[in-house]
Amino acid sequence: MEVAQQEILTQAPAKETTKVSGSVALLEALIAEGVDTIFGYPGGAIMPIYDALYDYNDKLNHILVRHEQGGTHAGQGYARTSGKVGVVFATSGPGATNLVTGLADAQIDSTPLVCITGQVFAHLLGTDAFQETDVINITTPVTKWNYQVTDANEIPEVIAKAFYIAKSGRPGPVLIDITKNAQIQLFDYEGYTKCEHIRSYRPKPIVRTQYVEQAAALINQAKKPFILFGQGVLLGSAEQEFKAFVEKSGIPAAWTVLGAGAIPTDHPLNVGMLGMHGNYGPNVLTNECDVLIAIGMRFDDRVTGRLDKYAKQAQVIHLDIDPAEIDKNVKTTVPVWGDCKETLPLLTALVEEKKHTEWVNLFNDYTRKEIEAVIHDELNPTSGEMTMGEVIKQLNDLTKGEAIIVTDVGQHQMVACRYAKFNNTRSNVTSGGLGTMGFALPAAIGAKYGAQDRTVVAIIGDGGFQMTCQELGTIMQSGVDVKIIILNNRFLGMVRQWQELFNDRRYSFVDIQSPDFVALAAAYRIPGKCINEREELQGALKQMLDNKGSFLLEVMVTKENNVFPMVPQGCSVSEIRLK
């Protein structure tokens, strides 16, 4: 028996191997994972990977960004519109540390990224070698997983794990640091196998049907149920399942900033945006509902306001893929762990078909109050300087709500999120949790590569634009078609609003001077236009949208216009101010 087994072993064909470098193994891994676009910036410690990339131009499209932070935001934009993993290359030292803001942004907004950094030779680690930093310890708090490769033999398996971890469960960023010796080392390459399981990692919790049944029972008994939905619906590709649940249950649904687009803006049960600058009804009626159903959202402080005054009258059902979010901020009556693409159909099957007409009409009554107090004048001014809201309204009219809207951070972000129309999923790309100024321009570049058949419009403030305006060079060199609207109010507007309302108009260092943005764009061979008059707006927007290629439109808007409604910090959501 032993002899027979030995004969079988000796006769078994050996795996075919090929001698390749670590760099080649990395690129082959990316191709096997379906990567088509890389955003990056070369340097000494990652040079072997870039040398290998020279022979892969027909398979991998590399976009040369102008700053590594821009690379991470471009990767985020790509991931958010495509549903795939964004990939970023950077060198060691300052190249790697420049990724940190983007990694933190991706971590808090659950965006799947794989960042590859070069590192000094393994024998130099810990010697303070040129451009050496401890990128693993620096990025540990802002990544879902990170790992340092010092031997090329590890590369196929580590990259497979990186992609699996980045995109599975609650997505997030992963960083793989590869020493230079591992990049050039030749080893016996046996091919690439995708990772589908890691013993110590469970990306999705087990769905417990008893909790689904308890949730359905609460919903069926409710008189005033209310749905809060977030990006988890989009990340789980559960838009159709969510729509079916909303329509069968007849429950009004409001969205977080990152949840926008999970159902169309104009859906009759979509009652608006939650949070500090959200809509009037969803905020006030949070404290009047009897059952609160949170789906794929994390009860961020900008949504809840004062936690000790948040929905204390309601029984709370929380559907989330990440058990750490359950009870983190708001005490849950019934937790429903699991991927909402799996849990929502189970819940929908058990809920009774209802209309909740009077309850929905109450939201509509609050909407009418908000239109009268705020929205009408913001969207339809007849005199004075232009408002941000009317720019968004005119853009809606021209794009029919079909465009991808990428926003930076500030007043323009809240105005765009409030008033833009999102008829399709994955149409709202913004920095939610971290609130990163400078996000929009590079993110819009990535968003266009992730959805090349769609119109991408970046809406940016004059302050945020100047943080990453060097990425105009990326647009120039790549020829990517991004429409850029700068809403210029000559202030750091959101900080100024707070200083006006809460610091007695003590405008401390918020009056920002800007260059000639149109001339700056022209220096990068991008056409542009600046308008001051309302009568010019529609024609200028149409010119921007019709232009073949990128276009920059600067719109001079009123300097001291505030974004309302607003929940002041430290107040309950029911204390929202209309003016």
Catalytic positions, written as ranges: 68, 130-131, 180, 494
Strands (DSSP E) found in 412-518: 428-429, 456-461, 483-488
Q: Which of 416, 422, 480 is nearest to 451 (CA)?
A: 480
3's CB contacts (< 8 A; 6+ apart) are: none
Neighbours of 59 (CB within 10 A): 13
Q: Is 407 helix (H, G, I), strand (E, B) or coil?
A: strand
First-to-last C-alpha distance (Å) of the chain:
88
Instruction: Return the structure tokens found at 118.
Output: 């070069």
Per DSSP bridges, beta strands 334-337 and 315-320 are parallel
Q: For every residue of 64-129, which 3-state class applies, written as one string?
A: ECCCHHHHHHHHHHHHHHHCCCEEEEECCCHHHHCCHHHHHHHHHCCCCEEEEEEECCHHHCCCCC
Provide φ and ψ at 405, rounded to 5°. -105, 120
d(CA 85, CA 456): 19
Q: Which of 434, 503, 430, 490 is nearest to 463 (CA)?
A: 490
d(CA 509, CA 308): 34
Provide φ and ψ at 172, rounded to 5°. 180, 175
Provide φ and ψ at 401, rounded to 5°. 70, 20
Contact call for residues 576 and 283 (beta carbons, < 8 A): yes
The residue count for the chain: 579
Residue written as token pair 């249950």: 249
Q: For every residue of 356-394, which 3-state class applies, written as one string?
A: CHHHHHHHHHHHHHHHHHHHHHHHCCCCCCECHHHHHHH
Contact call for residues 235 and 110 (beta carbons, < 8 A): yes
Instruction: Return the structure tokens found at 574.
Output: 């029911």
Please classify residue 267 by burial: count the beta carbons closer than 10 Å to its beta carbon, then call 0-12 exposed, 13-18 middle and 19+ buried: middle
Q: Which of 279, 135, 345 is nearest to 577 (CA)?
A: 279
Distances (CA, A) of 302 to 299, 305, 373, 498, 566: 8, 6, 22, 15, 11
d(CA 184, CA 179): 9
Q: Is 133 helix (H, G, I), strand (E, B) or coil?
A: coil
Angle (CA) 71 77 81, round 5°:
150
